Structure 1
């Protein structure tokens, strides 16, 4: 069954990528890596550039399942893009990397993560 990972090019994002690979291999794959770009925003550290995508590809090169990379652009909610991919791919699992910050887990994990946890038609693994 398919595993989708919402990828951001940070330390926690690469940890989520590793966890997603492991889950996809256990479940028989494929693994779909999605990096969402905000339209009109140029300096967002969550946007993966070509070099960061190549590092991610290298990390997954020896995966025993098919791996697909996607960069999606939205003017709307990042969560909606990930939920759409999960639905279209009939994914069994959505993997998210969450930065560990204080301040009550940054007000209960942030709106995007909350929406994904409450709305995904799949299991959700938070790394």
Structure 2
């Protein structure tokens, strides 16, 4: 069964990528790496450029499972795009990286993560 990871090119995003790789290998993979671009917001730091995607590919070169990269663009909700990919791939696990910048952030999750936790048809691993 597939593992989907919502990837952003940050330290947290690369930790989520590593966790997703381990889960995909344990489950017999494939691993689907998804970076969602917001239409009209080109300078968003969550958008992975070609160099950042190549670094992610390098991190996954030694994996034993098939890896697919998808860059999706949306004008709507990022969570909806990830949920659609989970359904299309029939994924059994969705992996997300969450920033914990301060004590308050440890107790509260962003709206995207909350929606994914509540709506995902698969299990969700938060890193």
CA distance in 1, matches of 2:102, 2:37: 26
* Post-superposition CA distance 1:35-75 (Å, at most 9, x none): 00000111100000000000000000111000000000000
* Ranges in structure 1 where 5+ consecutive residues have no aligned partner: none
* Post-superposition CA distance 1:102-121 (Å, at most 9, x none): 26227721100000000000
TM-score under structure 2 length normalisation: 0.97
TM-score under structure 1 length normalisation: 0.97
Mapped pair 1:115 → 2:115? yes
What is the aligned length? 127
CA distance in 2, matches of 1:93, 1:87: 11
Q: How does 1:1-127 map to 2 (within 5 A)?
A: 1-102=1-102, 104-105=104-105, 108-127=108-127
Root mean square deviation of aligned Cα: 1.1
1:109 match: secondary structure: coil
CA distance in 2, matches of 1:15, 1:30: 18
